[in-house]
Amino acid sequence: MRRSDRELQEKTTIESIISKADVCRIALIDGDLPYIVALNFGYKPGNPSCLFFHCAKTGRKLDIIRKNNTVCFQMDIDHELVLANKACGYGMNFKSIVGFGKIYEVEDKIGKIEGLQYIMKQYTSKNDFVYEDKMLEITTILRLEISEITAKQKV
């Protein structure tokens, strides 16, 4: 990280940013072009820590992942415009995360339910929902195993 004075290294601090984020962007490689998509997500701490996403059974994102499952992801929170008298004096306070990993489709029912529980917990703080088999059959769950994560802030 170029600005080491802004780096956040404590795992609890990084997990706090994740817990407050409401969108995770994943960047994929489509041949020789980048492709980025914003998704709702759930976070599972551990070794490795994981992010879960849900989507339809078909689409460009899945087509790309099936060819190359290496991804970069990004989240940010606490945006605040810093005012100044001159245009170049303006700035933005923030906290952000960038990470890398491999993303996989979850095939089994138990794994899908686990992913959905983490997604729901991210937004509701509850993880005891019941899922109909019909919904599980038409929903794709993606599991991103995090291999590297960095965080920084400007406050």
Q: What is the pLDDT of residue 3?
A: 65
Residue among 145, 149, 124 at smallest CA distance from 44: 145
Q: Is the pLDDT of residue 46 over 90?
A: yes
DSSP string, 40-61: --EEE-SSS-EEEEEE-SSSHH
Q: Is the dihedral of CA 38, 134, 112, 29 positive or negative?
A: negative
Q: Mean pLDDT throughout 128-145?
A: 96
How many percent of the chain have pLDDT more than 70?
97
Q: Is the pLDDT of residue 83 over 60?
A: yes
Rounded to whole angstroms, what are the CA distances from 143 to 69, 109, 131?
11, 13, 18
How many percent of the chain have pLDDT more than 90?
89
Rounded to whole angstroms, what are the CA distances from 142 to 57, 62, 90, 94?
11, 9, 39, 28
CA-to-CA distance for 16 and 145, rounded, in angstroms? 18
The reported pTM is 0.92
Which residue ranges form the domains of the chain, and what is each CATH number?
4-154 (2.30.110.10)
Q: Average per-residue pLDDT in the chain?
A: 95
Q: Is 22 helix (H, G, I), strand (E, B) or coil?
A: coil
Residue among 44, 30, 74, 27 at smallest CA distance from 143: 44
Rounded to whole angstroms, what are the CA distances from 86 to 82, 90, 91, 96, 102?
11, 7, 11, 26, 43
Beta strands in 40-116 (DSSP E): 42-44, 50-55, 70-82, 91-106
